[in-house]
Chains A and B, each alone.
Chain A
Protein backbone atom coordinates (compact mmCIF):
# COMPACT_ATOMS: atom_id res chain seq x y z
CA UNK A 1 0.00 0.00 0.00
CA UNK A 2 2.81 2.38 0.96
CA UNK A 3 4.60 1.61 -2.28
CA UNK A 4 1.41 2.27 -4.24
CA UNK A 5 1.08 5.71 -2.60
CA UNK A 6 4.73 6.68 -3.06
CA UNK A 7 4.34 5.91 -6.71
CA UNK A 8 1.15 7.92 -7.01
CA UNK A 9 3.23 10.96 -6.12
CA UNK A 10 5.80 10.10 -8.78
CA UNK A 11 3.08 9.23 -11.28
CA UNK A 12 1.45 12.64 -10.81
CA UNK A 13 4.73 14.35 -11.69
CA UNK A 14 5.12 12.10 -14.73
CA UNK A 15 1.57 13.05 -15.70
CA UNK A 16 2.57 16.72 -16.01
CA UNK A 17 5.30 15.70 -18.43
CA UNK A 18 3.02 13.30 -20.34
CA UNK A 19 0.40 16.02 -20.78
CA UNK A 20 3.15 18.30 -22.10
CA UNK A 21 4.19 15.67 -24.63
CA UNK A 22 0.53 15.11 -25.61
CA UNK A 23 0.26 18.76 -26.68
CA UNK A 24 2.80 18.41 -29.47
CA UNK A 25 2.28 14.70 -30.17
CA UNK A 26 -1.52 14.69 -30.51
CA UNK A 27 -2.78 18.27 -30.57
CA UNK A 28 -0.18 19.53 -33.07
CA UNK A 29 0.47 16.13 -34.66
CA UNK A 30 4.21 16.65 -34.32
CA UNK A 31 6.88 14.31 -32.97
CA UNK A 32 8.87 16.66 -30.75
CA UNK A 33 11.87 15.15 -28.99
CA UNK A 34 12.84 18.36 -27.21
CA UNK A 35 11.31 16.71 -24.11
CA UNK A 36 14.45 14.66 -23.50
CA UNK A 37 16.37 17.91 -23.10
CA UNK A 38 13.78 20.19 -21.50
CA UNK A 39 13.02 17.70 -18.71
CA UNK A 40 16.61 17.79 -17.30
CA UNK A 41 16.77 21.51 -18.18
CA UNK A 42 13.96 22.25 -15.73
CA UNK A 43 15.72 20.11 -13.14
CA UNK A 44 19.10 21.76 -13.78
CA UNK A 45 17.86 25.33 -13.53
CA UNK A 46 15.86 24.66 -10.36
CA UNK A 47 18.67 22.67 -8.73
CA UNK A 48 21.27 25.32 -9.44
CA UNK A 49 19.04 28.06 -8.06
CA UNK A 50 17.97 26.08 -5.01
CA UNK A 51 21.49 25.14 -3.92
CA UNK A 52 22.55 28.76 -4.34
CA UNK A 53 19.81 29.73 -1.91
CA UNK A 54 16.89 30.86 -4.06
CA UNK A 55 13.28 30.53 -3.03
CA UNK A 56 12.20 27.05 -4.21
CA UNK A 57 9.02 28.39 -5.82
CA UNK A 58 11.00 30.92 -7.84
CA UNK A 59 13.46 28.18 -8.76
CA UNK A 60 10.63 25.92 -9.94
CA UNK A 61 9.04 28.65 -12.04
CA UNK A 62 12.45 29.49 -13.53
CA UNK A 63 12.84 25.84 -14.48
CA UNK A 64 9.48 25.88 -16.28
CA UNK A 65 10.40 29.14 -18.01
CA UNK A 66 13.62 27.54 -19.24
CA UNK A 67 11.54 24.74 -20.78
CA UNK A 68 9.29 27.33 -22.46
CA UNK A 69 12.38 28.92 -24.01
CA UNK A 70 13.60 25.53 -25.25
CA UNK A 71 10.16 25.01 -26.80
CA UNK A 72 10.29 28.38 -28.55
CA UNK A 73 13.69 27.44 -30.01
CA UNK A 74 12.41 24.10 -31.34
CA UNK A 75 9.26 25.73 -32.65
CA UNK A 76 11.24 28.44 -34.35
CA UNK A 77 13.61 25.95 -35.98
CA UNK A 78 10.64 23.95 -37.20
CA UNK A 79 8.46 26.77 -38.52
CA UNK A 80 10.85 29.49 -39.61
CA UNK A 81 13.87 27.46 -40.73
CA UNK A 82 11.59 24.64 -41.99
CA UNK A 83 13.69 21.94 -40.33
CA UNK A 84 11.59 18.74 -40.03
CA UNK A 85 9.99 18.32 -36.58
CA UNK A 86 11.83 15.11 -35.71
CA UNK A 87 15.16 16.75 -36.42
CA UNK A 88 14.44 20.02 -34.59
CA UNK A 89 13.77 18.05 -31.41
CA UNK A 90 17.00 16.10 -31.77
CA UNK A 91 18.95 19.32 -32.38
CA UNK A 92 17.53 21.16 -29.37
CA UNK A 93 17.89 18.09 -27.16
CA UNK A 94 21.54 17.63 -28.13
CA UNK A 95 22.32 21.30 -27.61
CA UNK A 96 20.54 21.28 -24.26
CA UNK A 97 22.82 18.51 -22.96
CA UNK A 98 25.73 20.97 -22.97
CA UNK A 99 23.52 23.79 -21.69
CA UNK A 100 22.42 21.61 -18.77
CA UNK A 101 26.03 20.76 -17.87
CA UNK A 102 26.87 24.45 -18.11
CA UNK A 103 24.01 25.36 -15.74
CA UNK A 104 24.80 22.63 -13.21
CA UNK A 105 28.58 22.97 -13.54
CA UNK A 106 28.65 19.21 -12.88
CA UNK A 107 26.93 16.07 -14.10
CA UNK A 108 24.62 16.17 -11.10
CA UNK A 109 23.57 18.28 -8.13
CA UNK A 110 22.45 16.68 -4.91
CA UNK A 111 20.08 18.34 -2.45
CA UNK A 112 21.65 16.54 0.52
CA UNK A 113 21.77 18.65 3.64
CA UNK A 114 19.36 21.36 4.63
CA UNK A 115 18.23 22.46 1.21
CA UNK A 116 14.71 23.80 0.94
CA UNK A 117 12.58 22.46 -1.94
CA UNK A 118 8.92 23.12 -2.71
CA UNK A 119 8.17 19.84 -1.00
CA UNK A 120 9.93 20.38 2.32
CA UNK A 121 9.76 24.15 2.77
CA UNK A 122 6.23 23.90 4.16
CA UNK A 123 6.13 21.31 6.94
CA UNK A 124 2.62 20.14 5.95
CA UNK A 125 3.89 19.14 2.55
CA UNK A 126 6.93 17.18 3.59
CA UNK A 127 4.85 14.09 4.39
CA UNK A 128 3.88 11.72 1.63
CA UNK A 129 0.23 12.67 1.98
CA UNK A 130 1.15 16.33 1.68
CA UNK A 131 3.19 15.66 -1.43
CA UNK A 132 0.32 13.77 -3.05
CA UNK A 133 -2.21 16.46 -2.19
CA UNK A 134 0.07 19.20 -3.47
CA UNK A 135 0.83 17.33 -6.68
CA UNK A 136 -2.82 16.47 -7.34
CA UNK A 137 -3.81 20.07 -6.76
CA UNK A 138 -1.10 21.27 -9.12
CA UNK A 139 -2.10 18.75 -11.82
CA UNK A 140 -5.74 19.83 -11.56
CA UNK A 141 -4.84 23.50 -11.81
CA UNK A 142 -2.64 22.82 -14.85
CA UNK A 143 -5.31 20.73 -16.58
CA UNK A 144 -7.98 23.36 -15.91
CA UNK A 145 -5.81 26.13 -17.33
CA UNK A 146 -5.04 24.04 -20.40
CA UNK A 147 -8.71 23.28 -21.01
CA UNK A 148 -9.52 26.98 -20.65
CA UNK A 149 -6.66 27.93 -22.96
CA UNK A 150 -7.86 25.56 -25.67
CA UNK A 151 -11.25 27.27 -25.56
CA UNK A 152 -9.85 30.72 -26.34
CA UNK A 153 -9.47 32.03 -29.87
CA UNK A 154 -5.76 31.19 -29.83
CA UNK A 155 -6.38 27.75 -28.35
CA UNK A 156 -9.08 26.92 -30.89
CA UNK A 157 -6.81 28.11 -33.69
CA UNK A 158 -3.94 25.99 -32.31
CA UNK A 159 -6.13 22.88 -32.34
CA UNK A 160 -7.20 23.65 -35.90
CA UNK A 161 -3.56 23.93 -37.00
CA UNK A 162 -2.85 20.43 -35.70
CA UNK A 163 -6.00 19.10 -37.33
CA UNK A 164 -5.85 20.75 -40.75
CA UNK A 165 -3.03 23.23 -41.48
CA UNK A 166 -4.32 23.96 -45.00
CA UNK A 167 -7.76 24.98 -43.75
CA UNK A 168 -6.21 26.94 -40.88
CA UNK A 169 -4.11 29.07 -43.18
CA UNK A 170 -7.07 29.58 -45.50
CA UNK A 171 -8.98 30.94 -42.48
CA UNK A 172 -6.26 33.42 -41.76
CA UNK A 173 -4.57 31.59 -38.88
CA UNK A 174 -0.88 32.35 -38.46
CA UNK A 175 0.07 28.66 -38.31
CA UNK A 176 3.72 29.29 -37.34
CA UNK A 177 2.70 31.40 -34.34
CA UNK A 178 0.25 28.76 -33.12
CA UNK A 179 2.82 25.98 -33.41
CA UNK A 180 5.44 27.97 -31.48
CA UNK A 181 2.91 28.73 -28.72
CA UNK A 182 2.06 25.04 -28.30
CA UNK A 183 5.75 24.03 -28.43
CA UNK A 184 6.31 26.57 -25.67
CA UNK A 185 3.51 25.38 -23.37
CA UNK A 186 4.43 21.75 -23.99
CA UNK A 187 8.05 22.14 -23.00
CA UNK A 188 7.31 24.35 -20.01
CA UNK A 189 5.15 21.50 -18.66
CA UNK A 190 7.91 18.98 -19.30
CA UNK A 191 10.53 21.18 -17.63
CA UNK A 192 8.21 21.81 -14.67
CA UNK A 193 7.88 18.06 -14.27
CA UNK A 194 11.69 17.70 -14.39
CA UNK A 195 12.12 20.41 -11.80
CA UNK A 196 9.63 18.82 -9.37
CA UNK A 197 11.03 15.35 -10.01
CA UNK A 198 14.52 16.53 -9.06
CA UNK A 199 13.14 18.12 -5.91
CA UNK A 200 11.34 14.95 -4.77
CA UNK A 201 14.22 12.65 -5.69
CA UNK A 202 16.76 14.88 -4.00
CA UNK A 203 19.05 15.32 -7.00
CA UNK A 204 19.24 16.59 -10.57
CA UNK A 205 21.22 14.59 -13.08
CA UNK A 206 22.20 15.50 -16.62
CA UNK A 207 21.08 12.11 -17.90
CA UNK A 208 17.69 12.09 -16.17
CA UNK A 209 15.95 13.03 -19.43
CA UNK A 210 16.75 9.74 -21.14
CA UNK A 211 13.50 7.83 -21.46
CA UNK A 212 11.27 10.86 -20.90
CA UNK A 213 9.47 10.46 -24.21
CA UNK A 214 8.97 6.73 -23.89
CA UNK A 215 7.43 7.18 -20.43
CA UNK A 216 5.17 9.97 -21.65
CA UNK A 217 4.08 8.07 -24.73
CA UNK A 218 3.38 4.97 -22.64
CA UNK A 219 1.09 6.96 -20.37
CA UNK A 220 -0.65 8.53 -23.38
CA UNK A 221 -1.08 5.26 -25.28
CA UNK A 222 -2.39 3.49 -22.17
CA UNK A 223 -4.96 6.24 -21.70
CA UNK A 224 -5.99 6.03 -25.35
CA UNK A 225 -6.16 2.25 -25.25
CA UNK A 226 -8.65 2.25 -22.42
CA UNK A 227 -10.63 5.32 -23.48
CA UNK A 228 -10.63 5.51 -27.26
CA UNK A 229 -12.33 8.84 -27.64
CA UNK A 230 -12.39 11.66 -25.11
CA UNK A 231 -12.78 15.39 -24.96
CA UNK A 232 -9.53 17.23 -24.32
CA UNK A 233 -10.15 17.69 -20.60
CA UNK A 234 -11.08 14.05 -20.06
CA UNK A 235 -8.10 12.99 -22.13
CA UNK A 236 -5.75 14.91 -19.80
CA UNK A 237 -7.35 13.20 -16.79
CA UNK A 238 -7.00 9.77 -18.39
CA UNK A 239 -3.33 10.52 -19.07
CA UNK A 240 -2.89 11.20 -15.36
CA UNK A 241 -4.41 7.78 -14.74
CA UNK A 242 -2.14 6.27 -17.36
CA UNK A 243 0.96 7.82 -15.80
CA UNK A 244 0.10 6.51 -12.32
CA UNK A 245 -0.71 3.00 -13.51
CA UNK A 246 2.48 2.97 -15.55
CA UNK A 247 4.46 4.07 -12.50
CA UNK A 248 2.91 1.18 -10.55
CA UNK A 249 3.97 -1.24 -13.26
CA UNK A 250 7.54 0.02 -13.03
CA UNK A 251 7.51 -0.13 -9.23
CA UNK A 252 6.15 -3.68 -9.41
CA UNK A 253 8.94 -4.71 -11.71
CA UNK A 254 11.59 -3.19 -9.43
CA UNK A 255 9.91 -4.87 -6.49
CA UNK A 256 10.39 -8.21 -8.24
CA UNK A 257 14.11 -7.57 -8.01
CA UNK A 258 14.82 -6.63 -11.61
CA UNK A 259 18.18 -4.87 -12.07
CA UNK A 260 17.46 -1.08 -12.19
CA UNK A 261 20.01 -0.84 -15.00
CA UNK A 262 17.56 -2.74 -17.18
CA UNK A 263 14.78 -0.25 -16.49
CA UNK A 264 15.02 1.68 -19.74
CA UNK A 265 15.04 -1.51 -21.75
CA UNK A 266 11.87 -2.35 -19.90
CA UNK A 267 10.38 1.10 -20.73
CA UNK A 268 11.07 0.52 -24.40
CA UNK A 269 9.68 -3.03 -24.48
CA UNK A 270 6.58 -1.89 -22.61
CA UNK A 271 5.89 0.86 -25.14
CA UNK A 272 6.33 -1.59 -28.01
CA UNK A 273 3.74 -3.78 -26.31
CA UNK A 274 1.34 -0.90 -25.75
CA UNK A 275 1.66 0.18 -29.37
CA UNK A 276 1.14 -3.30 -30.75
CA UNK A 277 -1.61 -4.58 -28.47
CA UNK A 278 -4.46 -2.65 -30.12
CA UNK A 279 -3.31 -3.95 -33.50
CA UNK A 280 -2.66 -7.51 -32.39
CA UNK A 281 -5.94 -8.04 -30.70
CA UNK A 282 -8.84 -5.68 -30.12
CA UNK A 283 -10.21 -8.05 -27.53
CA UNK A 284 -7.09 -7.60 -25.43
CA UNK A 285 -7.78 -3.86 -25.37
CA UNK A 286 -11.27 -4.58 -24.08
CA UNK A 287 -9.74 -6.80 -21.40
CA UNK A 288 -7.49 -3.90 -20.36
CA UNK A 289 -10.51 -1.67 -20.17
CA UNK A 290 -12.37 -3.91 -17.74
CA UNK A 291 -9.18 -4.49 -15.78
CA UNK A 292 -8.64 -0.74 -15.51
CA UNK A 293 -12.16 -0.22 -14.21
CA UNK A 294 -11.58 -2.79 -11.47
CA UNK A 295 -8.43 -0.95 -10.45
CA UNK A 296 -10.42 2.23 -10.14
CA UNK A 297 -12.96 0.56 -7.87
CA UNK A 298 -10.37 -1.07 -5.61
CA UNK A 299 -8.68 2.29 -5.05
Chain B
Protein backbone atom coordinates (compact mmCIF):
# COMPACT_ATOMS: atom_id res chain seq x y z
CA UNK B 1 0.00 0.00 0.00
CA UNK B 2 1.32 3.42 -0.95
CA UNK B 3 1.51 5.73 2.06
CA UNK B 4 3.03 8.82 0.48
CA UNK B 5 2.78 9.76 -3.16
CA UNK B 6 4.38 12.89 -4.59
CA UNK B 7 3.57 13.74 -8.19
CA UNK B 8 5.29 16.38 -10.32
CA UNK B 9 6.17 18.48 -7.32
CA UNK B 10 7.71 21.87 -8.06
CA UNK B 11 8.86 24.33 -5.43
CA UNK B 12 9.89 27.61 -6.98
CA UNK B 13 11.34 30.36 -4.80
CA UNK B 14 11.28 33.98 -5.91
CA UNK B 15 8.95 33.23 -8.81
CA UNK B 16 9.03 35.77 -11.67
CA UNK B 17 12.05 37.53 -10.19
CA UNK B 18 15.63 37.52 -11.48
CA UNK B 19 16.57 35.17 -8.61
CA UNK B 20 13.91 32.56 -9.43
CA UNK B 21 15.16 29.16 -8.33
CA UNK B 22 13.72 25.67 -8.40
CA UNK B 23 14.18 24.16 -4.95
CA UNK B 24 12.38 21.07 -6.21
CA UNK B 25 11.93 20.31 -9.90
CA UNK B 26 9.26 17.90 -11.13
CA UNK B 27 9.87 15.49 -8.27
CA UNK B 28 8.06 12.16 -8.15
CA UNK B 29 8.24 9.79 -5.21
CA UNK B 30 6.17 6.97 -3.72
CA UNK B 31 6.69 5.44 -0.28
CA UNK B 32 5.15 2.04 0.41
CA UNK B 33 3.92 0.91 3.81
CA UNK B 34 6.92 0.08 6.00
CA UNK B 35 9.49 1.88 3.84
CA UNK B 36 12.28 3.59 5.76
CA UNK B 37 13.85 5.94 3.24
CA UNK B 38 17.02 7.94 3.89
CA UNK B 39 17.65 11.13 1.95
CA UNK B 40 21.07 12.72 1.41
CA UNK B 41 22.31 15.65 -0.67
CA UNK B 42 24.43 18.77 -0.45
CA UNK B 43 23.37 22.12 0.89
CA UNK B 44 20.56 23.56 -1.18
CA UNK B 45 19.80 20.21 -2.83
CA UNK B 46 16.18 20.44 -1.67
CA UNK B 47 16.13 17.95 1.23
CA UNK B 48 14.53 20.32 3.73
CA UNK B 49 12.22 21.74 1.09
CA UNK B 50 11.03 18.20 0.37
CA UNK B 51 10.30 17.50 4.05
CA UNK B 52 8.65 20.89 4.56
CA UNK B 53 6.44 20.30 1.53
CA UNK B 54 5.33 16.90 2.77
CA UNK B 55 4.65 18.24 6.29
CA UNK B 56 2.65 21.17 4.92
CA UNK B 57 4.96 23.95 6.13
CA UNK B 58 5.50 25.07 2.59
CA UNK B 59 2.61 25.49 0.14
CA UNK B 60 3.56 23.77 -3.11
CA UNK B 61 4.18 25.81 -6.26
CA UNK B 62 2.66 23.00 -8.32
CA UNK B 63 2.17 19.26 -8.12
CA UNK B 64 0.26 16.91 -5.87
CA UNK B 65 0.94 15.25 -2.52
CA UNK B 66 -1.25 12.42 -1.26
CA UNK B 67 -1.26 10.37 1.91
CA UNK B 68 -2.95 6.95 1.86
CA UNK B 69 -4.49 7.94 -1.45
CA UNK B 70 -6.02 11.11 -0.04
CA UNK B 71 -5.00 14.41 -1.66
CA UNK B 72 -3.52 16.59 1.10
CA UNK B 73 -1.86 19.21 -1.13
CA UNK B 74 -3.95 22.08 0.25
CA UNK B 75 -4.01 20.93 3.89
CA UNK B 76 -2.01 22.84 6.50
CA UNK B 77 0.46 21.44 9.03
CA UNK B 78 -2.13 20.90 11.78
CA UNK B 79 -4.50 19.05 9.44
CA UNK B 80 -1.75 16.78 8.13
CA UNK B 81 -0.65 16.09 11.72
CA UNK B 82 -3.44 13.51 11.89
CA UNK B 83 -1.22 11.31 9.73
CA UNK B 84 2.24 12.85 9.87
CA UNK B 85 4.55 13.36 12.82
CA UNK B 86 7.92 15.01 12.73
CA UNK B 87 11.21 15.32 14.58
CA UNK B 88 13.09 18.54 13.91
CA UNK B 89 16.81 19.19 13.71
CA UNK B 90 16.80 21.62 16.65
CA UNK B 91 16.00 19.69 19.85
CA UNK B 92 14.19 22.76 21.19
CA UNK B 93 11.76 22.80 18.25
CA UNK B 94 9.99 19.56 19.01
CA UNK B 95 8.94 20.24 22.60
CA UNK B 96 7.47 23.10 24.63
CA UNK B 97 10.15 24.24 27.13
CA UNK B 98 7.89 25.67 29.80
CA UNK B 99 5.52 22.73 29.91
CA UNK B 100 6.30 19.59 31.88
CA UNK B 101 7.42 16.33 30.28
CA UNK B 102 3.98 14.92 31.07
CA UNK B 103 2.18 17.85 29.44
CA UNK B 104 4.31 17.57 26.32
CA UNK B 105 3.57 13.86 26.03
CA UNK B 106 -0.15 14.49 26.62
CA UNK B 107 -0.14 16.99 23.75
CA UNK B 108 1.37 14.32 21.53
CA UNK B 109 -1.23 11.77 22.65
CA UNK B 110 -3.91 14.17 21.39
CA UNK B 111 -2.23 14.72 18.02
CA UNK B 112 -4.80 14.79 15.26
CA UNK B 113 -7.84 15.04 17.56
CA UNK B 114 -9.97 18.11 18.13
CA UNK B 115 -9.11 19.59 21.53
CA UNK B 116 -12.09 19.92 23.85
CA UNK B 117 -12.94 22.15 26.80
CA UNK B 118 -14.54 19.30 28.70
CA UNK B 119 -11.57 16.91 28.62
CA UNK B 120 -8.53 17.26 30.85
CA UNK B 121 -5.22 17.93 29.11
CA UNK B 122 -3.29 15.49 31.28
CA UNK B 123 -5.37 12.46 32.19
CA UNK B 124 -4.67 10.16 35.12
CA UNK B 125 -5.44 7.04 33.11
CA UNK B 126 -2.66 7.90 30.63
CA UNK B 127 -0.10 8.21 33.41
CA UNK B 128 0.98 4.60 33.32
CA UNK B 129 1.22 4.49 29.55
CA UNK B 130 3.41 7.60 29.54
CA UNK B 131 5.65 6.21 32.27
CA UNK B 132 6.09 2.89 30.49
CA UNK B 133 6.95 4.53 27.19
CA UNK B 134 9.42 6.88 28.89
CA UNK B 135 11.06 3.91 30.58
CA UNK B 136 11.68 2.38 27.15
CA UNK B 137 14.03 5.26 26.36
CA UNK B 138 16.35 4.01 29.15
CA UNK B 139 17.18 7.59 30.10
CA UNK B 140 15.75 7.41 33.62
CA UNK B 141 13.11 10.01 32.74
CA UNK B 142 10.14 7.94 33.90
CA UNK B 143 10.29 9.50 37.37
CA UNK B 144 10.54 13.04 36.07
CA UNK B 145 7.10 13.46 34.47
CA UNK B 146 6.48 16.69 36.41
CA UNK B 147 9.81 18.26 35.43
CA UNK B 148 9.89 21.15 33.00
CA UNK B 149 11.07 20.21 29.53
CA UNK B 150 13.54 23.09 29.51
CA UNK B 151 15.59 21.36 32.22
CA UNK B 152 16.54 18.47 29.93
CA UNK B 153 19.58 18.17 27.68
CA UNK B 154 19.35 18.32 23.89
CA UNK B 155 19.71 14.55 23.58
CA UNK B 156 17.01 13.87 26.16
CA UNK B 157 14.68 16.34 24.48
CA UNK B 158 15.29 14.79 21.08
CA UNK B 159 14.59 11.32 22.48
CA UNK B 160 11.32 12.61 23.96
CA UNK B 161 10.40 14.32 20.68
CA UNK B 162 10.92 10.99 18.97
CA UNK B 163 8.73 9.32 21.56
CA UNK B 164 6.08 12.03 21.11
CA UNK B 165 6.14 11.54 17.35
CA UNK B 166 5.41 7.84 17.74
CA UNK B 167 3.24 7.71 20.88
CA UNK B 168 0.23 7.69 18.59
CA UNK B 169 1.44 5.68 15.59
CA UNK B 170 1.72 8.05 12.63
CA UNK B 171 1.15 6.97 9.03
CA UNK B 172 4.36 8.77 8.11
CA UNK B 173 7.29 9.79 10.28
CA UNK B 174 9.48 12.67 9.08
CA UNK B 175 13.00 12.93 10.50
CA UNK B 176 14.69 16.20 9.60
CA UNK B 177 18.42 15.72 10.32
CA UNK B 178 17.25 14.99 13.83
CA UNK B 179 20.66 13.90 15.11
CA UNK B 180 22.71 16.68 13.47
CA UNK B 181 22.64 19.03 16.46
CA UNK B 182 23.75 16.37 18.96
CA UNK B 183 27.24 15.28 20.01
CA UNK B 184 28.47 12.08 18.29
CA UNK B 185 27.71 9.74 21.18
CA UNK B 186 24.20 11.10 21.82
CA UNK B 187 23.62 11.20 18.09
CA UNK B 188 24.39 7.46 17.85
CA UNK B 189 22.08 6.71 20.79
CA UNK B 190 19.18 8.66 19.29
CA UNK B 191 19.80 7.06 15.89
CA UNK B 192 19.65 3.51 17.25
CA UNK B 193 16.56 4.45 19.25
CA UNK B 194 15.01 5.74 16.03
CA UNK B 195 15.73 2.52 14.22
CA UNK B 196 14.31 0.47 17.10
CA UNK B 197 11.09 2.48 17.24
CA UNK B 198 10.62 2.43 13.46
CA UNK B 199 11.10 -1.33 13.33
CA UNK B 200 8.92 -2.15 16.29
CA UNK B 201 5.98 -0.10 15.04
CA UNK B 202 6.53 -0.95 11.35
CA UNK B 203 6.56 2.76 10.59
CA UNK B 204 6.89 4.38 7.22
CA UNK B 205 9.63 6.97 7.57
CA UNK B 206 11.46 9.59 5.56
CA UNK B 207 14.78 10.59 7.10
CA UNK B 208 16.98 13.44 5.88
CA UNK B 209 20.55 13.09 7.08
CA UNK B 210 23.99 14.59 6.59
CA UNK B 211 25.63 11.43 7.82
CA UNK B 212 26.33 9.07 4.90
CA UNK B 213 27.15 6.18 7.23
CA UNK B 214 23.68 6.47 8.77
CA UNK B 215 22.08 6.83 5.35
CA UNK B 216 23.62 3.52 4.30
CA UNK B 217 23.20 1.65 7.55
CA UNK B 218 19.55 2.49 8.24
CA UNK B 219 16.46 2.07 6.13
CA UNK B 220 15.62 0.04 3.06
CA UNK B 221 15.98 2.71 0.40
CA UNK B 222 18.36 5.60 -0.20
CA UNK B 223 17.71 8.75 -2.19
CA UNK B 224 20.23 11.37 -3.24
CA UNK B 225 18.94 14.81 -4.10
CA UNK B 226 20.76 17.37 -6.20
CA UNK B 227 19.42 20.67 -7.49
CA UNK B 228 15.87 19.70 -6.59
CA UNK B 229 15.90 16.33 -8.33
CA UNK B 230 16.33 12.73 -7.23
CA UNK B 231 19.61 11.77 -8.86
CA UNK B 232 20.13 8.43 -7.15
CA UNK B 233 17.54 5.93 -5.91
CA UNK B 234 18.92 2.72 -4.39
CA UNK B 235 16.83 -0.13 -3.08
CA UNK B 236 17.67 -2.43 -0.18
CA UNK B 237 19.80 -4.75 -2.26
CA UNK B 238 21.85 -2.04 -3.94
CA UNK B 239 22.28 -0.36 -0.57
CA UNK B 240 23.69 -3.44 1.12
CA UNK B 241 26.90 -3.45 -0.88
CA UNK B 242 27.33 0.30 -0.75
CA UNK B 243 30.27 1.87 1.08
CA UNK B 244 30.80 5.48 2.03
CA UNK B 245 33.56 5.98 -0.61
CA UNK B 246 31.16 4.57 -3.24
CA UNK B 247 28.55 7.04 -2.21
CA UNK B 248 31.10 9.87 -2.24
CA UNK B 249 32.07 8.96 -5.78
CA UNK B 250 28.44 8.95 -6.86
CA UNK B 251 27.98 12.27 -5.15
CA UNK B 252 30.89 13.85 -7.02
CA UNK B 253 29.53 12.47 -10.27
CA UNK B 254 26.17 14.11 -9.83
CA UNK B 255 27.41 17.25 -8.22
CA UNK B 256 30.49 17.90 -10.30
CA UNK B 257 32.14 19.15 -7.12
CA UNK B 258 33.59 17.63 -3.99
CA UNK B 259 31.80 17.65 -0.72
CA UNK B 260 32.83 20.41 1.57
CA UNK B 261 31.54 20.32 5.11
CA UNK B 262 29.72 17.04 4.62
CA UNK B 263 33.00 15.16 4.34
CA UNK B 264 33.87 16.22 7.87
CA UNK B 265 31.03 14.13 9.18
CA UNK B 266 32.32 10.88 7.71
CA UNK B 267 33.69 8.48 10.20
A interface residues with partner B (beta carbon < 8 Å) = 149, 151-157, 159-160, 163-164, 166-175, 178
Contacts and interface: CB of A to CB of B under 8 A. Distances in A.
A159 B96 contact: yes
Given A164-B95, A170-B94, A156 B121 contact: yes
A167 B103 CA distance: 13
The 9 closest A-B pairs by CB, nearest first: A156-B121, A172-B81, A163-B96, A153-B115, A169-B77, A164-B96, A172-B111, A172-B112, A157-B115
B117 A159 contact: no
B181 interface: no
A151 B108 CA distance: 15
Contacts of A171: 81, 85, 107-108, 110-111, 164
B231 interface: no
Contacts of A157: 107, 110, 115, 121
A166 B116 CA distance: 21
Nearest to B123: A153
B99 A172 contact: no
Contacts of B88: 166, 170
Contacts of A164: 92-93, 95-97
Interface in B72-129: 76-79, 81-82, 85-86, 88, 92-99, 103, 106-108, 110-113, 115-122
A173 B99 contact: no
Given A169-B81, A175-B78, A153 B116 contact: yes
B120 A153 contact: yes
B226 to A, nearest CB: 28
Contacts of B222: none
Given A151-B120, A152-B118, A157-B115, A167 B85 contact: no
B81 A170 contact: yes
A174 B55 CA distance: 15
A175 B164 CA distance: 18
A235 to B, nearest CB: 12
A163 B100 CA distance: 12
A172 B116 CA distance: 13
Nearest to B83: A172
Nearest to B93: A166
B81 A155 contact: no
A173 B113 CA distance: 8
A172 B110 contact: yes
Interface string B166-183: 000000000000000000
A170 B76 CA distance: 10
Contacts of A154: 115-117
A45 to B, nearest CB: 25
A158 to B, nearest CB: 9
Nearest to A163: B96
Contacts of B92: 164
Given A156-B107, A164-B93, A166-B88, A172 B121 contact: no
Given A152-B121, A172-B111, A167 B78 contact: no
Given A151-B120, A159-B96, A170-B86, 4 more contacts: A163-B96, A169-B76, A169-B77, A178-B115
A176 to B, nearest CB: 9
A167 B119 contact: no
B82 A172 contact: yes
A170 B85 contact: yes
Nearest to B116: A153
A159 B108 contact: no
Residue from the set A151, A156, A178 with the largest chain B CB neighbour count within 10 Å: A156
A93 to B, nearest CB: 29
30 contacts: A152-B115, A152-B116, A152-B117, A152-B119, A152-B121, A153-B110, A153-B117, A153-B119, A154-B115, A154-B117, A156-B115, A156-B121, A157-B107, A160-B103, A163-B97, A163-B98, A166-B93, A168-B107, A169-B76, A171-B110, A172-B81, A172-B110, A172-B111, A172-B112, A173-B78, A173-B115, A174-B78, A174-B115, A175-B78, A178-B115
Given A154-B116, A172-B110, A173-B115, A160 B78 contact: no
Contacts of B106: 156
Contacts of A153: 110, 115-117, 119-121
Contacts of B111: 171-172
Contacts of B99: 156, 159-160, 163
A169 B58 CA distance: 13
A152 B118 CA distance: 7
A152 B120 contact: yes
Contacts of A166: 88, 93
A151 B116 CA distance: 11
A293 B78 CA distance: 46
Residue from the set A151, A153, A160, A174 with the largest chain B CB neighbour count within 10 Å: A153
